Amino acid sequence: MRCLLQRVTSASVTVDGDVIGRTGSGLLVLACAMHDDTEANVASMARKLVSLRIFQDEAGKTNRSILDVGGSALIVSQFTLAADTSRGNRPGFSQAAPPDTGRRLYELLCEQVVDLGVPVETGRFGADMQVSLVNDGPMTIWLER
């Protein structure tokens, strides 16, 4: 599983002009299930997302997790994170999980992050979405499991 995390002060996702998910201070997570991902990959990613110490403590050091700061997450599916740009100028996406598997693993990631104690809102799998965010820091991190 691949995720791009952005520490945000706010983020939202819009579909057909309607805001369907939002978060305040916390994380925007763009998530992509890869073709060989398993439930174990998803569980590992969920644990990493809630434990990663990328929020500031009282001394201004990035020493706190989203759990520590009581933040929330907006998790948006984004199969384009599987892009292969090694040949030519048109990205290939054959490394992404098939849609049914991708949806199942994306939904599982969201459920597991909630189960670990972080409130989650989501995008809509497979939809044309517009994502807005205010990146805090900026702090952007690439994760693979």
78 carries an active-site annotation: yes
Separation between Cα atoms, residue 42 and residue 54, nearest integer Å:
20
Write the single-letter amino acid at 89: N
The catalytically annotated residue of 6, 23, 55, 79 is 79
Q: Which of 30, 34, 143 is nearest to 98 (CA)?
A: 34
23 carries an active-site annotation: no
The catalytically annotated residue of 6, 23, 55, 78 is 78
The catalytically annotated residue of 80, 93, 130, 140 is 80
SS3 91: coil
**9-38: b or e for each residue (b if 16 or more CB lie within 10 Å)?**
ebbbbbeeeeeebebebbbbbbbbbbeebe
Q: Which residues contact 41 (CB under 8 A, 6 or more apart)?
A: 1, 34, 105, 145
93 carries an active-site annotation: no
Give the residue numbers marked as catalytic.
78-80
